[in-house]
Amino acid sequence: MTALSREQVRVSRRIALVLRHRPESAGLTLDANGWVPVDELLAALRLTRAELDAVVEHNDKSRFAVARREDGTDWIRASQGHSRRVPVDLELPPVDPPPVLFHGTPRSNLDPILRAGLHSRSRHHVHLSADVPTALTVARRRSADVVVLRVAAGEMAKDGHVFRLSANGVWLTSAVPPRYLRI
């Protein structure tokens, strides 16, 4: 996958801000499942379809999903990561997770997490990774000094915790109690 240019990263962040956290800032209203017509997003953000397609196609995190409706219109949404203040149902069915998932975090967060667990805070879900390299990449967006936690996801599922898998491979759950975490 080709890396995004600096300008494309800026555009991607703008789209993510609107689709995940502040659709009203662009005069947009998401449907119940987080979708908005592509044409409306393009007009609101003053983007061309080519600019949008490049960002969607070359985004290594696959942050966005585009779907064509029966009427021939294209719609777009963020794959996950919405703020709680943006009520969306991504319609992701419960999925049995692998035995272990991972969560990267700045080392400064470690003690509070080990005491209280992982919580979604301002988001809809806790985000977990399928592998250590991805967890490290996620954590390093916030700090150079990071740690990766092992999440006993299989055990959590057996104990009744629900997991969902986003379109871009991010594992989602409502919280991870501390007893399921290991450094």
CA distance 162 to 172: 8
Residue with tokens 């989602």: 172
CATH number for the domain spanning 28: value is 1.10.10.970
Say yes or no: 57 and 110 in one domain: no
Q: Give the end of a domain, one of 78, 113, 136.
A: 78
Residue in this structure with the two tokens 């400064």, named with its chain if needed: 108
Query: How many other C-beta atoms can be found within 10 angstroms of the C-beta atom of residue 52?
Result: 21
The one-digit pLDDT tens for each residue of the chain (183 residues) are 567 788 988 999 999 999 999 999 999 999 999 999 999 999 999 999 999 999 998 876 678 999 999 999 999 999 888 787 888 888 889 999 999 999 999 999 999 999 999 998 878 899 999 999 999 988 898 888 999 999 999 999 999 999 999 888 899 999 999 999 999
Contact between residue 49 and residue 103 where contact means Cβ atoms under 8 Å apart: no
Q: What pLDDT does 36 receive?
A: 97
pLDDT value of position 60 = 66
pLDDT of 50 reads 95
Contact predicate 92/44, CB 8 Å: no
Distance CA 84, CA 80 (A): 11
* Per-residue confidence (pLDDT) for residue 89, from 0 to 100: 86
Residue 14 · residue 46 · CB < 8 Å: no
CATH of the domain at 122: 3.20.170.30
Q: Are 36 and 107 part of one and the same domain?
A: no
CA distance 150 to 95: 19
Whether residue 128 is contained in a domain is answered as yes
pTM, two decimal places: 0.79
Domain final residue pick, 32, 63, 78: 78
Q: For residue 5, what is the DSSP state?
A: P
Quick one: which of 36, 27, 46 has its CA closest to 74?
36
State the pLDDT at residue 64.
92
| CB contact set of 66 (below 8 Å; sequence gap of 6+) | 38, 56, 74, 75, 76
Place of tokens 């990071």: 146
Give pLDDT, residue 1.
52
Per-residue pLDDT, 123: 81
